[in-house]
Amino acid sequence: MATILIRGGRVVDPANNFDQTADILIDGETIKAIDGKIGVQADEIIDAAGLLVTPGLIDLQVHLRQPGEEDKETVRTGSYAAAAGGFTSILAMPNTKPPIDTQADVYNIYHIANQRAVVRVYTAAAITAGLQGERITEFGDLVRAGAVAFTDDGMPVMNGEIMRRALEYTSMFNVPVLQHSEDLNLSNGHVMHAGEMSAKLGLPGYPSAAEAVIIARDVELAAMTGGHLHVQHVSAKRSVELIRAAKRRGVYVTAEATPHHLCLTEEAVEGFNTYAKMNPPLRSEEDRQALRDGLRDGTLDLIATDHAPHTEMEKELPFIDAPNGTIGLETAFPSVYTVLVESGVLELNTLIERMTAGPARVMGWEDKGKLFVGGPADVTIIDLNTEREVTSDTFFSRSKNSCFYGHKFKGWPHTTIVAGRIAYAHGAINEKIKSVS
Amino acid sequence: MSFNQKHLLELEHLTREEIETILDTARQFKQTFQRSKKKVPTLVGKTVVNLFFENSTRTRTSFEIAAKRLGADVLNFSASTSSLSKGETIIDTARTIEAMGSDVIIVRHSCPGAPHLLAKKVQSSIINAGDGCHEHPTQGLLDIFTMREKKGKIEGLNVAIIGDLSHSRVMRSNVWGLLKLGAKVTLVGPKTLVPRAFEKFGCKICYSLREGIAEADVINLLRIQLERQQQNLFPSIREYKLLYGLNGKSISWARDDVMIMHPGPVNRGVEISQQIADGPLSVINEQVTNGVAIRMAVLFLLSHPSGK
Ligand SMILES: [Zn+2]
């Protein structure tokens, strides 16, 4: 087995309260040693002096678009984008065409991932058959096939009774129910946040309350059933407050925010910018501040990208007709690092926690999101100093719909190691490594 | 004279000087209306295309007459939504038209921002002839032109705009233009149809018709659409008339010399009674005439940067 020595980097591992210059020795698929100075030879030596070394990043919301929309993304290209973004484990959303709602669909994703992916790909399965919001899927069988979470993401579970049963039944298997919280009656026909920008642009906007009312309901259902409610892509202030209060009450609720909601506001839509059209929409400055507070105090357990690839042709439709979503895997760490950590709003340690130990804890992945001897060799090396503007020519994602064009970021991933193999380094994907899951 | 824009997409981002240049130019064109020969051949050899994705005979005709008086060749292109559903985008359609040699494309579309999208993708000058609920700049300009002509100046003028303001492109273009020229704007309508954010932008908001028109020098009424009733934004046309209809009784709450405007088409007997629409306070027909002058001015200025 090959050995890799990562030498002289600043190792930050929030799960172990570790922050010091150290060497890491990888042997095969596991970490062999973490020490101030490791004086052994290795097949490959990475000079990490001046670089940041963290546990491999984890993203719990990625739209890989396979099967059905392979012109936007595939498991393979999505995994390349993940590796380039420093992610070693990603969770695929089941709103593909057709949706992932049977055992065979789950097997299919793992089959493709084993052949093509350069990072660890996990999949969630649908809560309701065909994402129709009517009949729950075979949770037990889907878990057996490898589904690690359930969600109808893209759509909310609108029916309270179905959400109740989903939380109740899935709690037998210790898997979270991921909710895209949106009251469809309040959001019907609306394409952005209801605020000053929508008033100016004459675009129908929907209020933050559309998110909060579903969260308020789901928190009660989680309290009643003991199920694990995970709130996806929280966008609004009241949502953060409801989740904070629920956590204080001891309800089993966890939550996430996206880099774009943490970094941008409705202002980004100015000029009918379809690249800033997403759902939930970019909201007000007040909402953005509340998300930052929530991320800091742990109300929001993790950062997830909601990486949502779309073709250029679709994004060049008039605003109302353009699809929702931005790609996010390759800009996640740099965007939040630059906008929040560099400006002193967030501690570096907290940012890393929310992208490593945080998601691992939510998923119950005990050996992920941290560095320890004998543990899996998923390691990310990041360059905090080099500043670079976001441009489309560096993206590995098959789609180029980023909301961050023109922004200058630091904190670009340098090397991504998955199960002891270098998946990404020197701006290139190591296509030879396959079958890491 | 200062005007260096390539497109006219909205009034929100024009300067006071640019708006005044358009108004002054329109006044000069209007003087030619009295002549027996109304042509001012400054756009000879240019091709102006009306690209309407949404029907509007009155706006299209107004642009057509304006372009023809300037001597331009005019082509009307009604893009049916069916050709778009076959996978053709509005960019494809506009590029097709441009390939035939257009210099100016006048766009009407139900989606806010559609003209902005085309402005980025084609070489021709784009004029927004109404994009969904966003703006209708030439309507805003002709309304302001009419107010200035009749009332002498815009600075300090009290203008009440009444109706379905949330969904009104006419309201937005009026508000930006009027505020830049120093008018005081009051938005009047039911709470469900008045966008609150405009208070921050400098308008006064009023949910009572009586209070809203008390000080008004000008009342600009907007068309109310039945569709909004189906969305539960107000209970019924009957109730709308009761609370916000301008009729013989409610007009008495306004000043004697108040001027009544309406962008048309008028829902007679709904937002305004027949009597008032056709009465001495109304300048509705005047607005139509001024529309041609404004559109001539806009076509002229876009085709002759810096008024050269
Ligand atoms: Zn979602």
pLDDT in tens, B43-66: 999 999 999 999 899 999 999 999
Task: Report the residue of chain A nearest B90, measured CA to CA.
Answer: A317
**Which residues in chain A have Cβ-Cβ distances shorter than 8 Å to B132?**
202-203, 320
Average pLDDT over residues A208-221: 98
* Homologous superfamily (CATH) for B137-284: Aspartate/ornithine carbamoyltransferase (3.40.50.1370)
Average pLDDT over residues A309-332: 96
What is residue A370's DSSP assignment? S
Residue A434 has pLDDT above 80, yes or no: no
- Cα dihedral sign, A53-A54-A55-A60: negative
| Cα–Cα distance measured from residue A221 to residue A165, given in angstroms and rounded to the nearest whole number | 9
The mean pLDDT of chain A is 97
Contact B135 A202 (CB under 8 A): yes
Shortest distance between the Cα of B167 and any Cα of chain A, in A, equals: 7
- Cα dihedral sign, A241-A247-A250-A253: positive
Partner residue facing B197 (CB), from A199, A271, A316: A199
**What does the pLDDT read at residue B261?**
98
* In chain B, domain spans: 16-135+288-307, 137-284
Shortest distance between the Cα of A201 and any Cα of chain B, in A, equals: 5
Mutation pick from A71, A186, A190, A272 vs chain B, by most beta carbons of B within 10 Å, is A272
Interface of A with B in 165-224 (CB under 8 A): 195-196, 199-204
Residues with CB under 5 A from ligand 1 (ion): A 153, 180
Average pLDDT over residues A140-146: 98
| Cα–Cα distance measured from residue B186 to residue B210, given in angstroms and rounded to the nearest whole number | 12
**What does the pLDDT read at residue A332?**
98
- What is the pLDDT confidence band of residue A390, given thresholds at 50, 70 and 90? very high
**What does the pLDDT read at residue B82?**
47
Interface of A with B in 319-348 (CB under 8 A): 319-321
- Active-site positions of A? 306
Contact A199 B12 (CB under 8 A): no
| Cα–Cα distance measured from residue A273 to residue A319, given in angstroms and rounded to the nearest whole number | 7
Residue A437 has pLDDT above 50, yes or no: no
| Cα–Cα distance measured from residue B96 to residue B106, given in angstroms and rounded to the nearest whole number | 14
**Which residues in chain B have Cβ-Cβ distances shorter than 8 Å to A319?**
111-113
**What does the pLDDT read at residue B87?**
64
**Which residues in chain A have Cβ-Cβ distances shorter than 8 Å to B112?**
201-203, 272, 318-320
**What does the pLDDT read at residue A432?**
76
What are the tens digits of pLDDT across the range A70-96?
999 999 999 999 999 999 999 999 999
Low-confidence ranges of chain B (pLDDT < 50): 82, 307-308
**Which two tokens mark B238?**
């009957």
**Cβ–Cβ < 8 Å for A220, A249:** no
What is residue A418's DSSP assignment? E
Structural element, H or E, at residue B173: helix B169-180
What are the tens digits of pLDDT across the range A156-169?
999 999 999 999 99
- Residues of chain B whose beta carbon is less than 8 angstroms from a beta carbon of chain A are 12, 89-91, 109, 111-114, 116-117, 121, 131-135, 167, 169, 172, 195-198, 200-201
**Which residues in chain B have Cβ-Cβ distances shorter than 8 Å to A200?**
12, 172, 197, 201
Are B16-135+288-307 and B137-284 in the same CATH fold?
yes
Average pLDDT over residues A212-240: 98
| Cα–Cα distance measured from residue B53 to residue B130, given in angstroms and rounded to the nearest whole number | 10
Task: Report the residue of chain A nearest B120, measured CA to CA.
Answer: A316
**What does the pLDDT read at residue A204?**
96
ipTM (interface pTM): 0.93
Partner residue facing B112 (CB), from A196, A203, A317: A203
| Cα–Cα distance measured from residue B212 to residue B162, given in angstroms and rounded to the nearest whole number | 9
**Cβ–Cβ < 8 Å for A73, A63:** yes
* Homologous superfamily (CATH) for B16-135+288-307: Aspartate/ornithine carbamoyltransferase (3.40.50.1370)
* Residues A66-85: b if buried by 16+ CB within 10 A, e if exposed: bbebeebbbbbbbbbbbbbb
**What does the pLDDT read at residue A217?**
98
Mutation pick from B109, B134, B167, B199 vs chain A, by most beta carbons of A within 10 Å, is B134
A109 Cβ neighbours under 8 A, 6+ residues apart? A64, A66, A75, A92, A100, A121, A123
B110: CA distance to ligand 1 center in Å? 27
